[in-house]
Amino acid sequence: NNYTTALTYLEESLAIRKKIGDKSGEGKSLNNSSQIYKAYGDYITALTYLEQSLSIRQELNDRYGEGSILNNIGSIYVELGQDEKALSVFEQGLKIFCEIGDKIGEAAILCNISRVFKVRKDYTKALAYLERSLKIERTSSNKFGEARVLGNIGKIYLVQGEDIITASVYLKQSLAIQNEIGDNAGKGTTLSDLGMSAHVQGDDITALMYFKQGLAIFRETGNKPEDGTICWNIGQIYANQGDFVSA
């Protein structure tokens, strides 16, 4: 969970794999490094690494690796606000996973496709993709994926603002699994969402509790984009309470 330390080791690994001509390992190191840069909010560098990794996967005819990289590239395009590109790349990856029969990869991309429709505020379609993904994750007993999808379903209900209770139910289910499997990075995001859910319901004491727990995780892992978002939310609560010093 320490991104800075992880990146140092990954860059060393990448240099060694290039030196010895380990193309498969080089592709893995490039992909792993890209996820650290993504966590830092450096999406352009992340995309550069991913495109290099994709080229290697295609060169090696590694269909699973190609599908996985396309999934990660699509996620970067979502972050960059390029939803048309994201959807196109996701669909390429989904086709590959369906062709090779990789259900876990299929579930992961279905979950990410939902993000495109969430951005477009087509929540019905977003939920439909998430329900398909959740069914696969549960059938496959993939706890990590199940927690991720439950969290995303909770987010859809949260942003719609019409059924915050349902949002909280899904988010708490996600958090329980993340605690069980030790998914600290995912836990930080879920705590942040639970904080927002509590805030919307007018329970700022609980909201601050969740936000502060999430902030501690983001600072531990060096996740600057999420750190900034959660600090803003905490500051807004204190400001609304007239506590401008804490804000």
Question: According to the model, what pLDDT value does residue 16 have?
Answer: 95
> Which pLDDT tens digit goes with each residue over 20-32?
999 999 999 999 9
For the entire predicted model, the pTM comes to: 0.84
Indicate the residue type of 150: L
Residues 6+ away with beta carbon under 8 Å from 20? none
- The candidate with the shortest Cα–Cα distance to 46, out of 79, 19, 1, 15, is 79
* Res. 1 pLDDT band, cuts 50 70 90: low
- Average pLDDT on 227-244 reads 85
Length of the chain, please?
247
> Which pLDDT tens digit goes with each residue over 111-158?
999 999 999 999 999 999 999 999 999 999 999 999 999 999 999 999
